[in-house]
Structure 1
Amino acid sequence: MTTPVIIMTSGIFAVAAIIGLIDLFVHLVCWSARSLRTPDALQERSNDEIQRPAQGITA
C-alpha cells in the first residue's frame, strides 16, 4: 500500500518540477526575444525623466 503512495507522490513532484522548468524556459525565451527586439527594453524606466507637454498644447 505504501509503495503506490510513494510512487504517486514522487510522480506529482516530478510533474511539478517539469512544469517549473518549462515555465523558466519560456520566461528566458521571452526575455531574450525582448532584449533582441529593443536593446533598451532591459533598462529600468523608473529613472527616466518624465516627458513634459509641449508649449501651447493644452488638454
Structure 2
Amino acid sequence: MTNLVIILTSGIFAIAAFIGLVDLFVHLVCWSARSLRTPDALQEHQGEALQRPAHGITA
C-alpha cells in the first residue's frame, strides 16, 4: 500500500513538472514570435508618450 502512495505522489509531481515545462515552452515560443514580428515589441513603453509634440507648438 505504501508503494502505491509513493508511486501516485511521484506521478502527480511528474505531471505538474511536465505541465510547467510545456507552459515555459509555449511562453518562449510566443515571446520569440513576438520579437520576430516586431523587434521593438520587447522594449517597455509604459512611460513614453504615444505621440511626441511637434517643435514650436505649445498648449
Structure 2 length-normalised TM = 0.81
Where do residues 1-59 of structure 1 align in structure 2 (5 Å cutoff)? 1-51=1-51
Query: Which runs of 5 or more residues in structure 1 are unaligned?
Result: 53-59
| Structure-2 separation of matches of 1:17 and 1:11 | 10
In 2, the alpha carbon distance for the partners of 1:19 and 1:8 equals 17
Aligned-residue Cα RMSD (Å) equals 1.3
How many residues are paired up? 52
Which whole-Å CA distance do the structure 1 matches of 2:50 and 2:39 have between them? 20
Gaps of 5+ in 2: 53-59
| Aligned-pair identity (%) | 77
- Alpha-carbon distance between aligned partners in 2 of 1:11 and 1:36, rounded to the nearest angstrom: 37
Q: CA deviation at 1:31?
A: 0.1
Q: TM-score, normalised by structure 1?
A: 0.81
